[in-house]
Amino acid sequence: MRPVLTTSTGMPVDNNQTSLTAGPDGPMLLMDTQYIDKISHFDRERIPERVVHAKGAGAHGYFEVTHDLSHVTRAKFLHGVGKRTPVFARFSTVGGELGSADTARDPRGFALKFYTEEGNYDMVGNNTPVFFIRDPNKFPDFIHTQKRNPQTHLKDADMFWDFLSLVPETLHQVTILFSNRGTPYGFRHMHGYSSHTFKFVDHNGKYSYFKWHFRTNQGVKNLTSEEAERIAGSNPDHATADLFNSIAKGDSPSWTAYVQILSEEQVAKYRFNSFDITKVWSQKVFPLQEVGKLVLNRNPENYFAEVEQAAFSPGTVVPGIEPSPDRMLQGRLFSYPDTHRHRLGPNFNQIPINVPRNAKLQNHQRDGPMAINGNGGNKPNYEPNSFGGPYQTDEVGVSYTAAPVVGAVGRHTYQLTDDDFVQPGDLYRLLSPYEKDHLIKNIVGSLKNAKKFIQERQVQHFKRADPEYGRRVEEGLKAATM
Ligand code: HEM
């Protein structure tokens, strides 16, 4: 038997093809409640797209511990070899709109939601170990330069390179972005990084600092800029299709998860500011330690319900994992739930994909639009209470560790120093001749569209990182504009 169509209130629909009119040629009637139910819902189908990372794809899977971490963190999902935690992942480009091409030159988002027994844990990283800027106050301006010109509504090389050349702390990420790593073949073939430093806290309250690295087991595979442009024209949803189709045919992508861990003393002594997200921690000095594997083996049933409504935040942590003082991270802690309240409403954590499904949820939050989880039933909505409502816990280890803070309140700027040019220069020198050729070609292909004075300013930064790097970009620009 075929299922019977109903209105949103459950009334069977007798005719879903023809509107109710006064006579065959007459106007439609306000009493056509079935049509009004249908069209008014349609009129409201769109919600605001993510202000960044709008275009993305997601999948379900699990995380399995292969190396126990109970000696460094009390986070239970990292305890015991073989322990599995369900995960939802979303990958994305950053600057483009919901309908933009998957192969655009851009970092890729790498966001994971672990449904642990202690509540959800989100790892909201990128496919790059560093970021463009190190103070969140710069973020809205930086993003504006990656979006459209306010007058022409076009992507604008002057805006883009003007900002980058005036904020040279961006150089490390720019060097990654304009290598072929800026155009990954798809989401399965790239690594993922927390980029930020976080804190692990052990059972005795002792803390260390760490960063996540997820290394693809499919192998890194990148596109050249010509390939990326061609695919953008022929199949703009290339990465989305690649992820979905591979999982649909049982070829589950996986990543091996590692952490780099530094003690407080190592953090204090490191040559660079350890919390500066424009820098990496040397893997030679601080080797990767294997922790587990991430496997994605189930496609979403419904894109909007699961992928579009997913709400990740780097502040969604569990006992045993805490934010570090990294300023960019601190800025993000507020921004994500704030944008979720705007994009999905104040009860965004009641949307099934965001519900902490393996932890018991009980609090005093009530009401608001779309309160759909029973709203606390008849339980007390206040604390302290004498009637069986939830209470704060005195379980040891749930509160943040006490960390010393010194200094006067002020807008303490991170100074631009020669240090900002060391790692981009090191990265340039590490590239093979083939990779260098592509990096230079990709930069020239974009920078040539900016004004001459911007080109010249940017070339000086490349030179400061490595004289050959700068000279080659300079020569490339000359040849391109002759
Ligand atoms: C998405 C803000 C830096 C990774 C977003 C969104 C906002 C935002 C507002 C949209 C979220 C949504 O609508 O659900 C910021 C701010 C930053 C910052 C203010 C700096 C101060 C970063 C960095 C990374 C990152 C450094 C990576 C290390 C992501 C990812 C998403 C995202 C992966 C997409 C999450 C998803 O798939 O839903 N960011 N961001 N962001 N951001 Fe950031």
Q: Which atom of ligand 1 is closest in space to residue 331's alpha carbon?
A: 21
Number of domains observed in the structure of the chain: 1
Residue 427 within a domain = no
Query: For 148-168, how does the pLDDT look when each residue is reduced to its tens digit (9 = 90+)?
Result: 999 999 999 999 999 999 999
| Catalytic pick among 53, 191, 340, 438 | 53
Residue 211 within a domain = yes
**CATH number of the domain encompassing residue 290:** 2.40.180.10
What's the pTM value of the predicted model, to 2 decimals? 0.97
d(CA 357, CA 353): 9
pLDDT of 395 higher than 90: no
Burial group, residue 362, by CB count within 10 angstroms (0-12, 13-18, 19+): exposed
pLDDT at 414: 80
Predicted confidence band of residue 118 (pLDDT cuts 50, 70, 90)? very high
Q: Does ipTM come in above 0.90? A: yes
Secondary structure of residue 161 in the 3-state scheme: helix
Residue 52 Cα to ligand 1 middle (Å): 7
Residue 59 Cα to ligand 1 middle (Å): 18
> Residue 55 gets which letter from DSSP?
S
Pocket of ligand 1 (CB under 6 A): 50-53, 56, 90, 92, 109-111, 124-126, 131, 136, 139, 195, 310-312, 328, 331-332, 335-336, 339-340, 343
Residue 459 within a domain = no
pLDDT at 478: 97
Residue 200's domain comprises: 48-144+183-380
Which are the contacts of 412, defined by CB distance < 8 A and separation ≥ 6?
none
Alpha helices in 431-466 (DSSP H): 433-447, 452-465
| Catalytic pick among 60, 120, 126, 461 | 126
126 is catalytic: yes
- Over residues 180-198, the mean pLDDT reads 98
pLDDT of 428 higher than 80: yes
Residue 418 within a domain = no
With CA atoms as reference, report the closest residue to 136 among 7, 315, 9, 6.
Answer: 315
- Over residues 84-103, the mean pLDDT reads 98
Residue 33 within a domain = no
Residue 206 within a domain = yes
* 62 annotated to bind ligand: no
Nearest CA to ligand 1 atom 14: 311
pLDDT of 394 higher than 90: no
d(CA 414, CA 147): 26
With CA atoms as reference, report the closest residue to 96 among 108, 87, 85, 88.
Answer: 108
Residue 283 within a domain = yes
Residue 153 within a domain = no
412 is catalytic: no
pLDDT at 153: 98
Query: For 355-392, how does the pLDDT look when each residue is reduced to its tens digit (9 = 90+)?
Result: 999 999 999 999 999 999 999 999 999 999 999 999 99
